[in-house]
Amino acid sequence: MRTIKMFGAVLVAGLLATAGAFADETKDTTSDTPKPKTATKDVVVTKDGNTVTRQSTITGPNGKTTNGTATFTKTGNTVTKQGTVTGPNGKTATTGATWTKDGNTVTRQGETTLPNGKQVTSTDTWTKSGNTVVKQGTVTGPNGKTATTNATLTKDGNTVTRNGQTTGPNGKTVTTHDTWTNDGNTVTRQGTATGPNGHSTSGQTVTTREGNTVHKETTVTANGSDGAHPAAHPAAGAHHPHPHPKH
């Protein structure tokens, strides 16, 4: 399952995307041709014993940056994460999560405290059977409303394919299809997300690792007005059944 590490993602991005998939509205444009938007993410990872520290910087298409710090500590079959994310406006959210491995199943409990003090909680399970991982999850917002996620990931050689679906509190769904291909120190992801109204968004992410530094470049093209985002949908952070500090 080593190759499946290629599609690990930060929980906060997934939580933000859950809201974005159902709440975002595409702004009016003067052209009928979708304009690709590119964002970059740079991560520096350091390891000290059973603890991994990750420093990240995300630069959006408008040049604004979001900075994150997270530590992951492994004890037996459990990994604990503590982190902060500071947005372009200087406001900070805190994140915490615990992954526990039991046989071929990993369970994750997570909580994010937003800058206004409100909380988002999440529960996920990943179960491995052969070259397939099945994920089931829920995300509950500050208002108590819950979205559900499910996904199936299959490994074939150096490629992982993922098909997922998120159902929002209003019953509307976003479906996603992604493939990750590993070529040495580079992983390329191609993905599409289709929103409740049938409009889709396509995206590509190229991840390159050099030593303890990881660079990601994501380009997204919207083909409709659902606001579905293939680069950071909730289940993109599907952790395979082997809890460990995410690099």
The token duo for 132 is 């397939």
Write down the pLDDT at residue 35.
79
Distance, CA of 83 to chain centre = 15
Write down the pLDDT at residue 29.
39
Q: Is residue 247 domain-resident?
A: no
Distance CA 215, CA 44 (A): 9
Write down the pLDDT at residue 223.
77
Q: Is residue 132 domain-resident?
A: yes
Write down the pLDDT at residue 40.
96
Q: Is residue 244 domain-resident?
A: no
Task: Report the alpha-carbon angle 17-156-204, nearest 5.
Answer: 35
Q: Is residue 207 domain-resident?
A: yes
Any residues with CB less than 8 A from the CB of 55 and at least 6 apart, and which? 43, 44, 67, 68, 69
Q: Is residue 246 domain-resident?
A: no
Write down the pLDDT at residue 222.
84
CB atoms within 10 A of CB 69: 14
Q: Which of 18, 5, 2 is nearest to 193 (CA)?
A: 18
Distance CA 193, CA 203 (A): 9
Contact present, 40 and 191 (Cβ < 8 Å): no
Specify the pTM.
0.77
Q: Is residue 245 domain-resident?
A: no
Q: Is residue 71 domain-resident?
A: yes
Domain CATH code at residue 188: 2.40.160
Write down the pLDDT at residue 32.
56
Give the mean pLDDT per block of 10 residues along the chain (247 residues): 38 38 39 77 96 97 97 98 98 98 98 98 98 98 97 97 97 97 96 95 95 94 61 37 39
Full residue range of the structural domain in which residue 194 is found: 2-237
Distance, CA of 133 to chain centre = 16
How many domains, in total, are found in the chain? 1
C-alpha distances in Å from residue 14, one per residue of 26, 51, 97, 110, 185? 19, 23, 13, 12, 24
Distance CA 225, CA 147 (A): 20
Q: Is residue 242 domain-resident?
A: no
